[in-house]
Structure 1
Amino acid sequence: MDRGPLDRWRPRLFLAVALAVVVTFGTLGASHWQPGARDVDALGLLLALVGPVVLLTLPRRPVLAVLLAVGAVGAYLVLGYAWGPVLGGAVGVLVMVLLTGPAGRARVIAWSGAALLWGTVVGAAAPRDDAPRSAAVLGGAAWTAVALLVATGIRERVARAAALRAARAERERTAVATERLRIARELHDVLAHSLSAINVQAGVGLHLLDRDVEQARSSLASIKSTSRDALDEVRAVLGVVRGEDPPDGEDAGREGAHEPRSPTWDLAALPRLAEPLRARAVDVRFDVEPALLSEGAVPPRLAGVAYRVVQESLTNVGRHAPGARSVVVRVAREDHRLRVTVTDDGGPGGPPEERPPGYGLRGMRERVEGAGGGLRTEHGSPGRGAGFVVDATIPLPDDATEDA
């Protein structure tokens, strides 16, 4: 809603009281210094104070406020009272009208009221012996125009300041929502992959507990290692939330100890993501272009996006394609783009049933699109197998060492 500075009652009360004081004492002084004018009595003071009273009581009815204020000035002058600050009450009402309500309507009413005011002044002064000269009337009209122009400038400045505050608040809300979304993606990626691996290893250990104690012990050790890594990554994400860095010397050599706001894992760490699937006898093959494994070949932030895409894709294979026996992960550079493809065979039984995309696929898409790329997912066709394909393309900067 379009609101002005005087739509609030406190500044309007201050202006009304100040104007009433000026008009009262100014009118009494003018009566003293103009002997030929009618002495100010109760009726004269009442007419002089109509403007301040209207200013305070009728902000929502600007047309009526202007008519009452101008009519009171006309009656005051026709009755022969002294010239003086009585005009200030009507000008104050015009300023009030300009600073309240919708701006377009306020301008029309205020400037029309100014024309009506000075037309009334000229008409009321005509029969008086002490009528002011034309230059004085023009000067008064000019000062009224100046007051309205100043009020217009104040309103525009207040409106700009309000718009800037609203824009800043909206940016802050957007930043908070974006950060929450980023943290949710990080926690989902970390926990979904780690808990999936823990679930697989726990199942293996439980199955082999009585038949192969050593293999069961190995599964428990893997659970311990995976859970420790998951805790480390969750701690790193929470450190970003709190804006904290690990104390000097703590976890100094651990990967991600000083993790920035975007994931920075390099592509050489991809094979470790296959451990949960390999524990289930799934053949996971990595075809990563050797040039991409060298330091600085892919900006750390973009390598982190690729890492998360592969991580979530392998996690989804373990959760939604239990019959899969083979997974191929390809990472290559194509025309200034990093292309990541994860394909599984789906196993026996045909393609998995259609289901709404979960947080994992949504998070992958948001990550890739946030880096300026695109993500395509589809079920395999009969000619290509019954698996699932995740195909992500991420644009690379011209200078591969620059983090876009």
Structure 2
Amino acid sequence: MDRGPLDRRRPRLFLAVALAVVVTVGTFGASHWQPGARDVDALGLLLALVGPVVLLTLPRRPVLAVLLAVGAVGTYLALGYAWGPALGGTVGVLVMVLLTGPAARARVVAWSGAVLMWGVVVGAAALRDDGTRVGGLLGGAAWTAVALLVATGVRERLARAAAWRAARADRERTAVATERLRIARELHDVLAHSLSAINVQAGVGLHLLDRDVDQARSALASIKATSRDALDEVRAVLGVVRGEDDGGDGTSEPRTPTWDLAALPRLAEPLRARGVAVRFDVDPDLLPPGAVPAHLAGVAYRVVQEALTNVGRHASRARTVVVRVAGGGDLLRVAVDDDGGPSGARGDAVGYGLRGMRERVEGAGGALDAGPGARGFSVAATIPLPADVSAPGPSDARPPRAPRGSDSSREDA
């Protein structure tokens, strides 16, 4: 809604009272210093105060307010009362009209009222016999125009300030929502991957507890290591929420290493522990640190992590998974294919897993295609690379420590 600064009652009351005091004192003073003018009586004072009263009581009916104020000042002058501050009441009404309600309507009514006012004033001056000077009338009209121009500038300035505050508040809300979404993605990726791995290793440990104590002990050790890494990652995410830039020990070292595509094979350990063969085909040119900007390497890392997690959770028949990461031209291509066969649960469910992957890829300006493939499920992402791929970029998210024995989740739930 288009509102002006005088749509509120308090500033309007302040202006009306101040104007009433100025008009009252000024009218008595003008009557004393203008010989031949009619002495101010109750009628004259009442006519002079119509403007301040209308300013306070009729802000929602600007046309009626202008007509009443102009009619009162015209009658006041026609009856021979003194020139001077009595005109200020009507000018105050015009300013009030200009600073209330929709701006376009306010301008039309205020400037039309100014023309009407000075037409009435000139007509009233013609009925008087005190030799009113044309110069005085022109000066009064000029001051009226100045008052309206100042009021217009004030309104426009206040409107720009309000628009700037609204835009800033909107930017802050957007930033908060974006940060919440990023943190939710990080927590999902960390916990889904690590808890899935713990679940797999716990199952292995229970299965081998009576038959192979050494293997069961190895599974428990893997559970301990995975849970420790998961806690470190959760602390890192919470550190971002609290604005902590270091590891909490007073040093400036981050809690987690920089994204590194060379660490991708470690994501396959949970699947390999279940007997699934995971093959990586990563372009060697992408492996050196800095070959891919950190934030884009992070997106690729999370896509592979989530795809492998989904294989572990939803493709129990999968025996082979192929991960391909290649850079060609100005694109980084990531593909994960398994042979787990068709699965409606994997292809149809839309939840945090695939949604998070898609948001990450699209946030980097790329595209994600996930669905049934030739023998199972296929995830393919294309991510634009900057012209200078050697330049490091700010990390979209803190990368995980090397998960040990984690099982990922193609979870979309």
Please report the TM-score for the alignment, with normalisation by the length of structure 2.
0.92
Residue ranges of structure 1 left out of the alignment (5+ in a row): none
Distance (Å, rounded) in 1 between the aligned partners of 2:218 and 2:250: 31
Partner of 1:298: 292
Q: How does 1:215-226 map to 2 (within 5 A)?
A: 215-226=215-226
Residue ranges of structure 2 left out of the alignment (5+ in a row): 394-413
Q: How does 1:2-401 map to 2 (within 5 A)?
A: 2-244=2-244, 245-248=246-249, 257=255, 264-347=258-341, 350-353=342-345, 354-380=347-373, 384-385=374-375, 387-401=376-390
The residue type equivalent to 1:170 in the other structure is: D
8 Å CA contact 1:341, 1:390 repeated in 2: yes
**Secondary structure of 2:269's aligned partner:** helix
**Secondary structure of 1:126's aligned partner:** helix
- Which segments of structure 1 move beyond 4 Å, counting only runs of 4 or more? 248-252
User: Can you list the C-alpha shifts for 1:249-296, whole angstroms capped at 9, x where unaligned?
Assistant: 7796xxx5166xxxx420111111111111111111111111211122
Distance change (3 Å), C-alpha of 1:211 and 1:108? same
8 Å CA contact 1:7, 1:100 repeated in 2: yes
8 Å CA contact 1:336, 1:398 repeated in 2: yes
**Secondary structure of 1:394's aligned partner:** strand
Distance (Å, rounded) in 1 between the aligned partners of 2:389 and 2:112: 66
Q: Percent identity?
A: 80
* 1:355, distance to aligned residue in structure 2 (A): 2.3
* 1:342, distance to aligned residue in structure 2 (A): 0.5
The residue type equivalent to 2:34 in the other structure is: Q
**Secondary structure of 1:391's aligned partner:** strand
The residue type equivalent to 2:358 in the other structure is: R
Residues paired across the two proteins, number: 391
The residue type equivalent to 2:115 in the other structure is: A
Distance change (3 Å), C-alpha of 1:196 and 1:251? farther
Distance (Å, rounded) in 1 between the aligned partners of 2:360 and 2:148: 54
Distance (Å, rounded) in 2 between the aligned partners of 1:251 and 1:403: 19
* 1:136, distance to aligned residue in structure 2 (A): 1.4
Distance (Å, rounded) in 2 between the aligned partners of 1:21 and 1:158: 27
* 1:131, distance to aligned residue in structure 2 (A): 4.2
**Secondary structure of 2:378's aligned partner:** strand
**Secondary structure of 2:316's aligned partner:** coil
**Secondary structure of 2:211's aligned partner:** coil
Q: Which has the higher contact order (CA 8 A, sep 6+)?
A: 2
8 Å CA contact 2:290, 2:392 repeated in 1: no
Distance (Å, rounded) in 2 between the aligned partners of 1:196 and 1:368: 23
**Secondary structure of 2:382's aligned partner:** strand
**Secondary structure of 2:127's aligned partner:** coil
More deviation, 208-217/232-241: 208-217
Distance (Å, rounded) in 1 between the aligned partners of 2:241 and 2:248: 16
* 1:193, distance to aligned residue in structure 2 (A): 0.6
The residue type equivalent to 2:75 in the other structure is: A
8 Å CA contact 2:267, 2:308 repeated in 1: yes
Distance change (3 Å), C-alpha of 1:166 and 1:343? same
The residue type equivalent to 1:125 in the other structure is: A
8 Å CA contact 2:268, 2:278 repeated in 1: yes
* 1:352, distance to aligned residue in structure 2 (A): 3.7
8 Å CA contact 1:94, 1:113 repeated in 2: yes
8 Å CA contact 2:39, 2:81 repeated in 1: yes
User: Can you list the C-alpha shifts for 1:365-400, whole angstroms capped at 9, x where unaligned?
Assistant: 1111111111111201xxx32x11111111112222
Distance change (3 Å), C-alpha of 1:152 and 1:208? same
**Secondary structure of 1:341's aligned partner:** strand
Distance change (3 Å), C-alpha of 1:122 and 1:249? closer
Distance (Å, rounded) in 2 between the aligned partners of 1:325 and 1:343: 11
The residue type equivalent to 1:21 in the other structure is: V
Distance (Å, rounded) in 1 between the aligned partners of 2:19 and 2:10: 14
More deviation, 365-374/105-114: 365-374
Distance (Å, rounded) in 2 between the aligned partners of 1:250 and 1:19: 65
User: Can you list the C-alpha shifts for 1:77-113, whole angstroms capped at 9, x where unaligned?
Assistant: 1211111100000000000000000001101110111
Distance (Å, rounded) in 1 between the aligned partners of 2:305 and 2:357: 10
* 1:356, distance to aligned residue in structure 2 (A): 2.7
